[in-house]
Structure 1
Amino acid sequence: MAKVSATAASALASLAILVALPALAEQAEHRQLGPHVHGQGTLDIAIDGNKIEMELVAPGMDIVGFEHVATTDDQKAAVEKAKAKLTDVLNVFKLPVAAKCKADAANVESRKETHQPGEKDDDDDKPGEPQHSEFHATYTITCEAPENVTGLETVYFSDFAGGQLLNVNVTTPKGQTQAQMTRAKPSLDLTGVM
């Protein structure tokens, strides 16, 4: 019976972390990015047991070099190429080999930037008014040895010329941590967060 209740507690903790991810992303965007800042993206990471959930939100300008919704064939091809790169999460965000991680799921979208409450609604865009696009990626990763998840390195900045900074929010059963990854410091120390 104790084993069932420990499993149930772990499942509830996982669910709480997953439910908190979108709220953390929105809170981080309001606090650190505002509605739209070129060069800056947000990476939310939730770690519970052997599961890692990640969510990346970045302006289209950072990823493909333009901020409007793709209209030409070349722009659409650039978006598809970027989506393919971002889908390979363990290439973009490298976890320690000793953690024996594998990607379970990856979903990458390019979409019109979502406006915050109080801003004009996307549906009210006037003809000729610029529209901003953003990339939104979600990932699920399983690690056989999660105790070895002691850091994270990224090639995000070398793969995407416009990216300058990622505001990172890490949530684990031990609590929440905020950090930044930059072109000059494309790594994150996760020692002690597990």
Structure 2
Amino acid sequence: MFTGLAAAIFVLVSPAAADEAQHRQLGPHVHGQGTLDIAIEGKKISMELVAPGMDIVGFEHIATTDAQKEAVEKAKAKLTDVLSVFKLPAAANCKADAANVESRKETHHPGDKDDDDDDKPGAPQHSEFHATYTITCDAPESVTGMETVYFTNFAGAQLLNVNVTTSKGQTQAQMTRAKPTLDLAGVM
């Protein structure tokens, strides 16, 4: 499926691959801030988005009411349509091959030295959204940038920390409400 340098680096920088280590090093998620990892190799683009539930649906606990569950399902439906949320240049002729979006429990908290108490009844819980995507582009050299409606779709979202890996190297950038674009010209 996805092999080579970009796949190896994607695994190394992927929040899912380093989830536990990341929580130990960086602590819990920060409201308003998500992470978007992008790996581009040949015609394939793999993306992974991790964002606090508060950013996406306006609450951070596991959905319990019908209204909350509906909000989660609507958010998942929006996030599943990756090329509507993260728009690539039309000249690249990209198509989404796969999308997986889930809302999951995230239980690490400030001051935690271990995870021993996180699953006990009454322990504070947070949720986060995790999405993975695979995209194929007929003309990947035309992927010189990306625009997003992520901030328009999700009122609590303020910032995406973006990590990009290509055969030419790695770069980091930020997308914000004020600057919902990403320049990829230097790494393609």
**TM-score interval, smaller chain:** 0.7 to 0.9
Q: CA deviation at 1:16?
A: 1.9
Equivalent of 1:90 in 83, 88, 92? 83
- Contact 1:21–1:46 at 8 Å: present in 2 too? no
1:48 aligns with 2:41: yes
1:105 alignment partner, one of 81, 98, 107: 98
Aligned position for 1:125: 119
**Aligned pair in 2 of structure 1 residues 31, 71: CA closer, same or farther (>3 Å)?**
closer
Gaps of 5+ in 1: 1-9
Q: 1:68 aligns with which of 58, 61, 68?
A: 61
Change (3 A) 1:32 1:101: farther
Give the greater-gyration-radius structure (CA).
Answer: 1
Give identity over the alignment, percent.
Answer: 79
TM-score, normalisation: structure 2: 0.88
Alpha carbons of structure 1 residues 18 and 161: separation in structure 2 relative to 1, 3 Å:
same
Residue 190 (structure 1) shift: 0.4
Equivalent residues of 1:152, 1:189 under 8 A apart = yes
User: TM (normalized to structure 1)?
Assistant: 0.85
SS at match of 1:55: strand
Match of 2:165 among 162, 171, 178: 171
User: For residues 1-39 of structure 1, what are the alpha-carbon distances to aligned partners after superposition, in whole Å with 9 as ceiling and x for unaligned?
Assistant: xxxxxxxxx943354244334269748966996422000
Count of aligned pairs: 184
Match of 2:128 in 1: 134
Greater alpha carbon shift after TM alignment, 120-129 vs 178-187:
120-129
Higher helix proportion (structure 1 or 2)? 1
Matched, 1:78 2:85: no
CA RMSD between the two structures = 2.6
Provide the secondary structure at the position in 1 that maps to 2:123: coil
